[in-house]
Structure 1
Amino acid sequence: MYYDVYIDIVFLTNLLMDYLLLRIVGKLFLRKRNRGRILLAAAIGALFSCLILYVLPDGIFPVKVLLHGGCAWIMLVLGLDLKKNGLVMKALVSVYLMAFFMGGLMEAAPIKNMTLIRFLVMALGAYMGLDVLIYLSDSFRARWKNIYPVTLSYQGNVQQFFGLLDTGNLLVDPMNQKEVFVIKPEVLEAVMPEEKADRLRHLKENPGELEGTELTDLHPHFLPYQTIGEEGVMLAVVLEDLCIHTPREVIHVANPVLALAVEPSALGKEYQVLLNSRILH
């Protein structure tokens, strides 16, 4: 049985689907979404799909899956600037789940003759539906779990995380009387160059080397803290900007003080920042 395949239609449909999928996954993983980079990554994915269709029209299914998986990996790294292998793997799984969901919605549509225009309308409708689900999920986190999206900026690098409003965090930096936010080490690793993150880790392990450090723009210093049955010091740095995105407003904090958690695992898995309750009250 023979049928005609129009390569331009294949390219356009894959370009649209890849672009929408990258946008959705970018929202899920709170990545800074540059439309130009996402479009370039989607174009590479669409071109790759055309090449696979042309070169391996009857290829072995596992081989096609591996090739498409490798292409999706490249698209995520290029389009969403995902660097850690564990995070990329999670995003890769999310891409396939979202593709399966969108494909299922389009298959269930009561349309017999699928034209390009109808396909575009269906794809955009599926995208908007997923976007609404993500918005409802974020609203649920904010209202019932006190977890909010947080944006951190340093030297032009903008990254997004989740932050928990902790009513017990009333820590204030005695040097400048500013509220202190407690973070996991992975936050600094994401917002600053690897070399600086390594120096900070070394400094945390060797507090005596604080004087003479080359990290003057971060103003590294140690903060005393006290909890029930425990006290000590935390390494703190100052970044350029922090924004807390609540359902009602965006709270901006200039030059936020961030302290590295002594036990990062105690912060939980759903969030990376422990917000200071003085900011939201």
Structure 2
Amino acid sequence: MQEIYIDVVFAANLLMDYLLLELVARFLRCRTSHRRCLAAAILGAFGSCLILCIPSENTPVLTVVLHGFCALLMLRIGLKIQKEALLLKAFLMLYLTAFLCGGFWEAVSRERALTLRIFLLCVFVVYTGSSAFLFAADSIRAGRKNIYPVTLGCQGRVQSAYGLYDSGNLLTDPLNGKPVSIIEPELLYKLLTKEDAEILRSFHENPKELTNTEITALKPHYLSLTTVGNDPQMLLAVMLDDLCIHTPGNVIHIAEPVFALTSKSTALGREYRLLLNSRLLR
């Protein structure tokens, strides 16, 4: 009969879960903190220990369901993911990353006993290797095309995308003096509920519908935009909660950024869904 030391199981799952949450957060560009990831990892390790008490040979389906529920709970707590689509994507990414890490550790353990020292070394190699890969990919993308990963936050919801640094975008909001970036409407609507998105779509027709809705927090208003060779046009502008621009060197955080909605999604490129104001990266 195999002996299982519960403290070893707890410590191994704690390190593994924390590593996986950090990697998934980096891959999906989720805004989180080390404390939240650690708290979620502790919960996940505790859950794994409890699941060990269930005889898996008699209830294999229940064991799988409990592991899946535990993973979803960790993602909710650690990464603060609210939207179901993003949660599913993070769930799949979590298990894919766990599969890749498990294969790497198994290959290493074949050559020698997987001691605590070797385990910690593997954790370090996987984490730093993945971080280096993401850093290199972002550096190449940003260096060649001035395209940066961005994270948008609005009313507790988070959305990731890519934005193009537009050196010719000098648009300023006359109401508050903030630099104005350009956003694809469909990307903004993903940060809102279906009802609020519909209200914002019909804002120019029924502005009174905004009364007592969450849309009022966006402070919707119109801006005049003039481009070379074109007549002036009025664009609907809104203010979000925050914007994070992930440059190769650091993360630039902008509180209460202003975005103007394009009239057509085709105005932006295939690789990016925002035009970042030139003043944001200075």
Per the normalisation by structure 1, the TM-score is: 0.78
CA–CA distance in 2 between the matches of 1:85 and 1:56? Answer: 31
Answering whether residue 84 of structure 2 is matched by residue 85 of structure 1, we say yes
- 2:30 aligned counterpart, secondary structure: coil
CA–CA distance in 2 between the matches of 1:42 and 1:269? Answer: 37
Q: Which amino acid aligns with 1:15?
A: L
Q: Which amino acid aligns with 1:139?
A: S
User: What residue is the counterpart of 1:221 in the other structure?
Assistant: 221
Structure 1: 5+ residue stretches without partners: none
Matches within 5 A, 1:172-211: 172-173=171-172, 175=174, 179-184=179-184, 186-187=187-188, 190=191, 198-199=195-196, 201-210=198-207
- 1:207 aligned counterpart, secondary structure: coil
Distance 1:265 1:120, change over 3 A: farther
Matches within 5 A, 1:1-281: 2-59=1-58, 61-109=60-108, 111-152=111-152, 161-165=160-164, 167=166, 170=169, 172-173=171-172, 175=174, 179-184=179-184, 186-187=187-188, 190=191, 198-199=195-196, 201-210=198-207, 218-225=218-225, 233-239=234-240, 242-247=243-248, 256-264=257-265, 267=268, 271-277=272-278
- 1:74 aligned counterpart, secondary structure: helix
Identity percentage of aligned residues: 41
Computed over aligned residues only, the root mean square deviation of the Cα atoms, in angstroms, reads 3.6
List per-residue Cα deviations over 1:26-85 (Å, max 9, x = no partner). 111111122222112111211221122211342454543333222211111111011111
Structure 2: 5+ residue stretches without partners: none
List per-residue Cα deviations over 1:107-129 (Å, max 9, x = no partner). 11154222223222222222221
Q: Which amino acid aligns with 1:182?
A: I
Deviation at 1:222, TM superposition (A): 1.8
Deviates more, 1:85-94 or 1:43-52: 43-52
Deviates more, 1:5-14 or 1:240-249: 240-249
Deviation at 1:173, TM superposition (A): 4.5
Q: Which amino acid aligns with 2:128?
A: M
Deviation at 1:99, TM superposition (A): 0.7
- 2:57 aligned counterpart, secondary structure: coil
Distance 1:56 1:271, change over 3 A: farther
Q: Which amino acid aligns with 2:180?
A: V
Work out whether residues 21 and 75 of structure 2, in 8 Å CA contact, stay in contact via their aligned partners in 1. yes
Deviation at 1:6, TM superposition (A): 0.7
